[in-house]
Structure 1
């Protein structure tokens, strides 16, 4: 704890001080054969921690400098209401159903490839897709509306 206090006093951020001291002790453990012969191994840990903290400050300063040079990134619009609804409906599905729906409808994988990559039998993939479609129709209230597909067979999500 003494080294954490010293690094914190120098650099002013307790969380960063704890992180760099932990990393310094991990490095000390890796070099313990050599460090165990030192008169004050803690001094080595402290020096490594200070250097790690200084490197973090330099990195932060470079990031801030880049922000100043390039300005803030352009504002990007959030997801549309359809995407939000689809993501919410997907979260209601059991994991295996969600997995096959995402692979098949969002990424256009054929059933056989999904079965191979997940280790499921082809019949299970088909059953999960069937059950998932039924649940999604109810969740999304899409009984009357046909699904929109992109050119590669995947569902189009805006």
Structure 2
């Protein structure tokens, strides 16, 4: 029986990991951190897999786990620390800022909740109600954050900007 559960989970991970990684990257703007977020979320999902799989809530649960992991990581003390050479002594694997897409850069300037709403609504194409359920907020709050986030994205990414 355990092999069946493991096989189902493995199939789910193989199918969804690339999309989850892109989702996590849109939240944090760093591929290495995105991999860490997805890995943490998948561990949580595996532990709850039996319950989730019978309810058909795997997709929602793993996205919520990525979101929660992202918020938790941001609260860790070492994420708040900055070294004096920050930005001057980058790792070999850290992509240069000019190589990042403009959209991801602007997403990183949005407040956390706006970023989460924009990513869920417009990158994952969830409805207002689905986004509200994912984040545990009201549909009105989703609309408000989405509107502010869209306005900020338009302001920064507008082609008329010089």
Superposition TM-score tier, normalisation by shorter sequence? 0.3 to 0.5
* Greater C-alpha radius of gyration: 1
The two structures have a TM-score, normalised by structure 2, of 0.37
The two structures have a TM-score, normalised by structure 1, of 0.37
Higher helix share: 2
